Amino acid sequence: MKILAALSRVLPPVLAGAAVGLVLAPVSGLASNHWAYQEPGHMDFGQGDYVYNYDFREGSTWSKYKVDWPITFIAYNSATVNKLKTVMEQFAYDQAGGSMYGHVNDGPESSHYLIQDTDSGKKHDFCPGVGNETPHFRVYADGNDYLWQIGRGSYVVASTHRDVEECSSFKIFRDSEQVEGGIVTNLSNLYYVYHDRYAWGNPEPYRVQGRHIWDNNGYGSYVEMT
Amino acid sequence: MRRTRTKSQTFYAISLAATSAVSTVLLLPIVGATAHDGSGPPQVYDVTQNPSPADRAQYGQDRSTHGGSAPVRAESRSKADEHGRNDAFLQGVLRGTNHRLLREGPWTRYDGTPIGLVREIAFDKPHTVPMRAWPGIQWSEEPGTDGYAPGKRELDVRRMASITLFFDDNNGLVGAYPDSGSIVVSSPNNVDHPEMAGRH
């Protein structure tokens, strides 16, 4: 309050009011954006394949300070990035969003290289304004549009969330768990699904950093495509 | 048998090789080691199993489980209670309804500094709130800042199952958002920003 009182002495009243109205704090260190509850880990799919259990805002780092959302489901058996996106168009996921990065390793099929795959995903509404929102998923694989291994076939992994009032100054982001459930329910009309089947090491307790609402139970869903 | 190439065949071969090389470079995903600014190697979670057909009944349903809640400071909780009791918007929304606290969690800046808490209140029956001003948080888009400005937008909300409330310890109720199943009509007085599309 001493700072605000000092501000009001040196600033015109309107500017002082603005300084009070905007409840700002300087950004410190690494935490200039939202960050995960724990360090990201590898989901070890066997046969040398692994995938990081979050997607990331940058392609070159994997710390918990650079995550965007948890990876929440896998589509397998005969899945590719384009096939999953095409299938989801019938559930109104026909618009693109902003891009993030998935970190995937296809084992021997990618010469054991870790790949940083970028994807903008699919959502219902390209630009939800005040009072509107849209679920949004992003799908990751390596350069040939899928990961592959014996017994699982071609597979892809995806993160989920919801953009709320994104094209307004009131935007917030939330619902990784609920959007996962919604997509799995959509896909259960077409395929066998296993909702929240195995622990993937990315539980996020309910809390809010800035405008990013975390809530994820840490269990990944499986979609057996045909 | 020896094979010879004409000039045009040679030109074609060189062009094909050059095109392939350029295409390969353009199409290659980013490959290489990633840096880590946290501590220790990544935890490994064994997910080598596929679900078995016997799992289909058990794991075919939406279990709607959540990740639990992070600890909320007692100070934030008592202030939110007080702010909530004195907030005309919230009291107007809740009046005449049966409702319960669904969950609550801490609200912080990105650097971890506490702001207050966020609560989700569930209604026993779908709830209608005719057009009125709703508080909303306007998180700063300016690089190097970490905070929000309180604001209002006019919404008509129908079939609302729950409402998410942002309580600032010092400034009271500063944000309210209906659940995703609500039917919401935005007033023509509200301002959208199409230039913000595709950033998230």
> Tens digits of per-residue pLDDT, A20-62?
456 766 655 446 789 999 899 999 999 999 999 999 998 888 8
Instruction: Give the closest-approach CA distance of A63 to chain B in angstroms.
Output: 5
Residues of chain A neighbouring B39 (CB-CB closer than 8 A): 39
B43, two tokens:
């935890």
Q: For residue A135, which of A185, A170, A106, A173 has the smallest C-alpha distance?
A: A173
A211, two tokens:
């405008």
Residues of chain B neighbouring A28 (CB-CB closer than 8 A): 111, 146
Flag if B62 and A195 touch (Cβ within 8 Å): yes
Flag if A25 and B28 touch (Cβ within 8 Å): no
Q: How many CA atoms does the CB half-sphere of A42 hold within 13 Å? A: 18
Q: Which residue has the tokens 């269990």?
A: A219
Instruction: Give the closest-approach CA distance of A2 to chain B in angstroms.
Output: 15
Nearest beta carbon to residue A170 from set B45, B146, B151: B151
Residue-level pLDDT at A184 = 95
B10 band by pLDDT with thresholds 50, 70 and 90: very low
Residues of chain B neighbouring A32 (CB-CB closer than 8 A): 110-111, 146
Pairwise pLDDT comparison (B198 vs B39), residue with the higher score:
B198
What is the interface size between A and B, counted as CB pairs within 8 Å?
A: 298
Nearest beta carbon to residue B177 from set A136, A164, A197: A164
Residues of chain B neighbouring A142 (CB-CB closer than 8 A): 29
CB distance from B112 to chain A under 8 Å?
A: yes
Q: For residue B165, which of B71, B83, B96 has the smallest C-alpha distance?
A: B83
Residues of chain B neighbouring A164 (CB-CB closer than 8 A): 177, 180
CB distance from B177 to chain A under 8 Å?
A: yes
CB distance from B55 to chain A under 8 Å?
A: yes
B39 band by pLDDT with thresholds 50, 70 and 90: low
Compute the average pLDDT of residues B47-64.
77
Instruction: Give the closest-approach CA distance of B19 to chain A in angstroms.
Output: 18
CB atoms within 10 A of CB A135: 23
Phi, psi of B69 (to 5 degrees): -125, 145
Residue-level pLDDT at B24 = 40
SS (H, E, C) chain A: CHHHHHHHHHCCHHHHHHHHHCECCECCCCCCCCCCCCCCCEEEEECCEEEECEEECCCCECCHHHEEEEEEEEEEEECCHHHHHHHHHHHCCCECCCCEEEEEEEHHHHCCCEEEEEECCEECCCCCCCCCEEEEEEEECCCCCCEEECCCEEEEEEEEEEEECCCCCCCEEECHHHHHHHHHHHHCCCCEEEEEEEECCCCEEEEEECCEEEEECCEEEEEECC
CB distance from B163 to chain A under 8 Å?
A: no
Residue-level pLDDT at A23 = 72
* Window 15-34 of B, Cβ < 8 Å to A: 27-34
Instruction: Give the closest-approach CA distance of A164 to chain B in angstroms.
Output: 9
Give the best residue of A4, A15, A24 to mutate against chain B (max B CB count within 10 A): A24
Flag if A27 and B148 touch (Cβ within 8 Å): no
Q: Mean pLDDT score of chain B, rounded to an integer?
A: 84
Instruction: Give the closest-approach CA distance of B181 to chain A in angstroms.
Output: 10
Flag if B34 and A103 touch (Cβ within 8 Å): yes
**What spatial distance separates the first Cα and last Cα of chain B, rounded to whole Å?**
61
**pLDDT tens track, chain A, 226 positions:** 333 334 333 333 333 334 445 676 665 544 678 999 989 999 999 999 999 999 999 888 888 999 999 999 999 999 999 999 999 999 999 999 999 999 999 999 999 999 999 999 999 999 999 999 999 999 999 989 999 999 999 999 999 999 999 999 999 999 999 999 999 999 999 999 999 999 999 999 999 999 999 999 999 999 999 9
pTM (predicted TM-score): 0.86
Flag if A206 and B194 touch (Cβ within 8 Å): no
